[in-house]
Amino acid sequence: MNKAIWAAPLLVLGALGAAACNEAMQGEFLGDGVTQAMLEGAGEDHANWITHGRTYDEQRFSPLDQVNTQNVGDLGLAWFADMDTARGQEATPLVMDGKLYLTTAWSKVKAFDAATGEPLWDYDPEVPGETGVKACCDVVNRGLAAWGESLFLGTLDGRLVSLDRNSGAVQWEAQTTDPEQAYTVTGAPRVIDGKVIIGNGGAEFGVRGYIAAYDAANGEELWRFYTVPDGNEGGESPQYLQDAAETWNTEVLRSSDAIGGGGTVWDSMAYDPELNLLYFGVGNGAPWNRAYRSPGEDGTGEGDNLYLSSIVAIRPDTGEYVWHYQTTPGETWDYTATQHIILADMEIGGEERAVLMQAPKNGFFYVLDRETGEFISAEDYIPQNWATGMDENGRPIFNPETRIDETGEPALVMPGPLGGHNWHPMAFHPGEGLVYIPAFEAAMVYEPEADWKPDTARGFNVGFNLGAGDLPADMGFRREVYGTVKGKLMAWDPVAQEARWTVEFAGPWNGGLLTTGGGLVFQGNSGSEFAAYNAADGEKLWSFAAQTGIVAPPITYTVNGEQYVAVLAGWGGAYAITADGALVDHQGPVRNVSRLLVFKLGGGEELPAERELTAIPLDPPPSRASADTIALGGTKYARYCAVCHGPGAVGSTVLPDLRRSGTLGNAGAWSAVVNDGILKDNGMVNFADSLSREEIEAVRGYVIHRANEDKAIEGGE
Ligand code: CA
């Protein structure tokens, strides 16, 4: 069998004369704080970083050029700050008036003097530990928004919180989601004209997606835009939802509490002030398998299921629909279009075009007209096999063999649910005219789950057997399979729709990007390194041994005219928590040392010595369960446990490896955790509503069985 077929169940889951301007911009914030004029002019403010993507067009390009291709070799550590968790770190810090603000795991916020690292204040929203089980992809947070003298935070348990940026004191809190459902918030809010805008996640669990606006003054909800119908659309419903209802089997949506349709808006937004259009990306369907989400008469998947996997443009003042473009009609592979959206102007075919660009999970790089939503072009940036191309309207031409919702047959599909590019921000360099993409190659076998039923209480509601690609207990084979999963840093020409250069990495899931006027691209990676590349040709010019995998995007800013580059280091997120801890980078374990790293020319600070990583040896009790019990345990494990503890019970370096659990040999202790939930404050809730005591014991039998298989090969090849 082709080795790649096993690969991903693994994987369940943008020199411009800055100096004079810098001086002029210092002190910009002395006054009443961030205004709409400042947000719209953020591109001219070279000193600060006041909104998530630095500017409303989300280019993540800074004109700063003090650090450049000539002197980047002199970049050194200026200061660092340790975080208080060892979970995924995905945040983009904000910098205002020489103060740096960031979010860390469990939605905590920290403020520092941006030049010295002196801690200023901390805020902990005290998210209940049991919220962790609602998070598909680690307990991460991607950042803050600023307005006036306030900062806005979305918490994992769905609250929007306004903080005084000078003290960290809470000004107001608003619950943006139904706490009874599996909604989470991990994305960074944006602010447009005093409205704080935030979406949510949870499409793996069955929720109905939306994005909403709240009054920055008091948290009052101003509008809410649902991305999918609920099956009750009538004459009073907005026209766009009535139109969407025509593309679904709305009977299923109406009749099930657990099939909310998905379409969550969990990350990307961009704003064009001239057109007054807010753009956002919409996620995958819930469940993934369209045959269960929107069945036709014969039971196979039917309908485009708007507005799943779409880019949507709305009016930020009212939430009124303007246009949409659906990247993956009838999506069934977890092909979200929530990936980073970049706005830029460029000449295409002799014409100056105002474009919107995205590299969603499905492997195609899209260029759209951002005024009308008109399709301009799309080409695949990584190998994919679900579409044979696009028709002239930009509708994909499907490969019928990969339509597992129609065939019911398992198929190897590229990319898998991790996508060809995930949440990690891209960057655009206007001088080079290139978009830099943190891409990867990782396929998956999608095996439809027969007789699947949704579960409102716990576990992944996707309609596929996520245990289908578990790897056998053969270390050489596992290494070979992991060898097929690649990471890439690509410089993509959006006009020619082709790569200008590519840097390859041993492992996937490398960091988000920053480009600068100094001709540089900065990126951290899974190989525990933070590096700078020449934006023109990809030559690596500098690197720093970070002691930890890095997934978050860097930023740059100045204090008193001196340029700093900062990145929040710390391994985590969807791939990190489900990949084999021993093989994730093909070479060895990737550690999590959660730490803000800040660099400047001539910086001479040093990190403390690297801690030894000691693995607990595999020492399971003998396997005594029957083959039937082990099989039952394996099925339940794949649906309820694998998303956090790893496919095939092979753990990551981020969350506990159950094969090494001290409770494995004690049925009572195992039950106290899984049935009674004694570790719920750590995020390990009870599964009593979803799994019987017999099934919980069967899962223990399965993990013991797997641990014994792997004990025989541990350390060997
Ligand atoms: Ca998803």
9 — pLDDT class (breaks 50, 70, 90): very low
pLDDT at 590 over 70: yes
- Overall pTM surpassing 0.85 (yes/no): yes
Q: Residue 26 above 60 pLDDT?
A: no
Q: Is pLDDT larger for residue 153 or for residue 471?
A: 153
Lowest-confidence segment of 39-43, 138-142, 459-463, 570-574 by average pLDDT = 459-463
Q: What is the mean pLDDT of residues 171-178?
A: 98
Strand residues in 253-335 grouped as ranges (E): 261-262, 269-272, 277-281, 285-286, 310-314, 321-326
Please list all protein residues whose beta carbon sits less than 5 angstroms from ligand 1, which is an ion: 284, 334
Assign 469 a pLDDT band (cuts: 50, 70, 90): confident
Q: How far is the CA of 337 from the centre of ligand 1 (A)?
A: 10
Residue 20 scores a pLDDT above 50:
no
pLDDT of 29 reads 59
Choose the weakest-confidence range: 38-47, 78-87, 336-345, 580-589.
Answer: 580-589
Which residues 6+ apart lie within 8 Å of 75 measured at CB?
67, 532, 542, 544, 565, 599, 600, 601, 603
User: Strand, helix or coil at 662?
Assistant: coil
Distance from Cα 134 to the centre of ligand 1, integer Å: 13
The mean pLDDT of the chain is 92
334 is known as an active-site residue: yes
The 10s digit of each residue's pLDDT in 317-334 is 999 999 999 999 999 999
Give the model confidence (pLDDT) of 477-502 as tens digits.
888 888 888 999 999 999 999 999 99
Residue predicted with more confidence, 339 or 582: 339
Name residue 396's beta-bridge partners.
Answer: 390
- Ligand 1 midpoint to CA 416 (Å): 11
3-state helix, strand, coil in the chain (%, to 5): 20, 30, 50
Taking the CB of residue 681, how many other CB atoms lie within 10 A of it?
A: 12
Handedness of CA 116, 121, 122, 125 (dihedral sign): negative
Say how far apart CA 584 and CA 423 lie, in whole Å: 19
pLDDT band (50, 70, 90) for residue 22: very low
What are the pLDDT digits (tens) for 379-416? 999 999 999 999 999 999 999 999 999 999 999 999 99
β-bridge mates for residue 341, sequence order: 358
Catalytic residue from among 45, 334, 405, 657: 334
Residue 715 pLDDT level (bands cut at 50, 70, 90): low
Q: How far is the CA of 149 from the centre of ligand 1 (A)?
A: 34
Cα(556) to ligand 1 centroid in Å equals 30
What's the CA gap between 348 and 674, in Å, rounded? 57
pLDDT, one tens digit per residue, over 650-683 is 888 888 899 999 899 999 999 999 999 999 888 8
Q: How far is the CA of 645 from the centre of ligand 1 (A)?
A: 18
Region 165-191: mean pLDDT is 97
| pLDDT above 60 for 3 | no
Average the pLDDT over 576-602 and give the result.
85
Question: What is the distance between the alpha carbons of residues 245 and 252, in angstroms, rounded to a whole number?
Answer: 12
Residues 63 and 20 sit within 8 Å (Cβ to Cβ): no
Ligand 1 geometric centre to CA of 263 (Å): 9
